[in-house]
Each structure stands twice: as C-alpha cells, then as structure tokens.
Amino acid sequence: MLTVAVLISGTGSNLRALLEAASHPDYPARIVAVGADREAEGFAHAQHFGIPTFLVPYEQFESRAAWGEELSRQLAVWSPDLVVLSGLMRLLPSGVVAAHAPRLINTHPAFLPEFPGAHAVRDALAAGATQTGASVIVVDAGVDTGPVLAQERIAVVPGDTEHTLHERIKPVERRLLIDVVRDIAEGAIDLTAISAASRP
C-alpha cells in the first residue's frame, strides 16, 4: 500500500477527491497526512476522513528555507512513499524537493509547459488561448518544469471567467491525479525511471 502525504493551500477540492478514492478498499494508496502553509479550508476534508493534519504557517518563518526545514520535519513524521502537491501555492525550497524527489508530484491547471506558475488559469485567458488543460507532473527544481505524468486538453469557451474555466479544469485534474497515484502505487508509473530519463 502506497502511503501519501498531501500538501494544500486552499479549498482542497482535489484533495477531497483523492481522499474519496483512497477510502475505497480496492484503491492501492492511503493518505496518511495532509499539510498546509496556512489555515486551509481543505483541512476540513482531511478531518472528515479522520486524516491527521499539520500546519506550517509560511508567514511565521524568517525565510523560505526555514519554512522548508520545518515542512520536511513534519513530513518525516509520516515517512510517506509519495508527496502530492494539490494546490500548494508556494514554491518548495530546493532542500525539500531534493529530500523527496522523484516521489513528489504536483497537479497544475494548464497543459504544461504552457502557463506555468501560480496564475495558470488567468494567464491562459489573458493570452486569448482557445484551449488550456490540466497536468500532473513530477516536481523538480524548476517552476512546473518536471516531467509530465498525465495531461489533458480543455477548451476555453466564449464568456469563460477565471472561475468558470478553473471549475471545468478541476474535475479533469482530479481524475488525472487519482489515476496517476494509482499507477504509481501499482508500478505502472516508475517515477525514478521517468526522472532519470528527463535529465539532460
């Protein structure tokens, strides 16, 4: 059974979908802890499923590195096989990435490498894109630059706002995330091999 820690910042709707999937006896992964950089609304989903939470408030640390050290300490308590960034809106310090890579994945509301960063949905609309997408990637040292594990296209429709478009993207992200975590647990995705192959 693959053990998973999930890091969030916000509403945690993708987290909730993964919690629901993982609550089925046939699903080959279990969520062991949910962490956040702020008092995230999504903690309520973890509590609903009886999953422990931990808070590492970014603002209370003097540097990103110090925040990352505490985050690493908290993650180490659970020794997860996999860490999932599901709406964590902070760049992880390189030390945290190095400690978990390649068993560290991220969901992103765009068809990477298009529209990386914290405002992917807004950026797609601002660029006048007629389609965007959803991606699940391995986290590496860059910003949304790691190898793509799964992705799907989603059309931008006339009249879309950041909210309407994001709400259409999220269900696709959920499906991709649930499938990717299952594939990692079952060995159909080999993160070590994929990461090694992506290195120049």
Enumerate binding residues for ligand GAR (CB under 6 A). 8, 10-15, 42, 86-87, 107-109, 118, 120, 170, 173
Smallest distance from ligand GAR to CB 8, Å: 6
Residue 134 has a CB neighbour count (10 Å cut-off) of 27
Would you say 44 or 193 has its CB closer to ligand GAR? 44
Cα–Cα dist 125/162, whole Å: 7
**Residue 193 CB neighbour total at 10 angstroms:** 10
For the bound state, the minimum distance from the C-beta of residue 55 to ligand GAR, rounded and expressed in Å, comes to: 15
Cβ partners under 8 Å of residue 105, min gap 6: 82, 83, 84, 85, 136, 137, 138, 139, 149, 180, 181, 184, 191
**Least gap, CB of 47 to ligand GAR (angstroms):** 15
The answer to whether 106 is a known ligand-binding residue is yes
Cβ proximity of 86 and 180 under 8 Å: no
* Shortest distance (Å) from residue 26 CB to ligand GAR: 23
Residue closer to ligand GAR (CB basis): 86 or 195: 86
Q: Which residue is nearest to ligand GAR (CB)?
A: 87
Q: 108 an active-site residue? A: yes
Instruction: Find the catalytic residue in 108, 119, 163, 166.
Output: 108
Instruction: Considering the complex, state which of residue 149 and residue 193 has its C-beta at the smaller distance from ligand GAR.
Output: 149
User: Given the complex with ligand GAR, which of 76 and 117 has the nearer CB atom?
Assistant: 117
Please give the positions annotated as active site. Answer: 108
Instruction: Specify binding-site residues.
Output: 12-14, 64, 89-92, 106
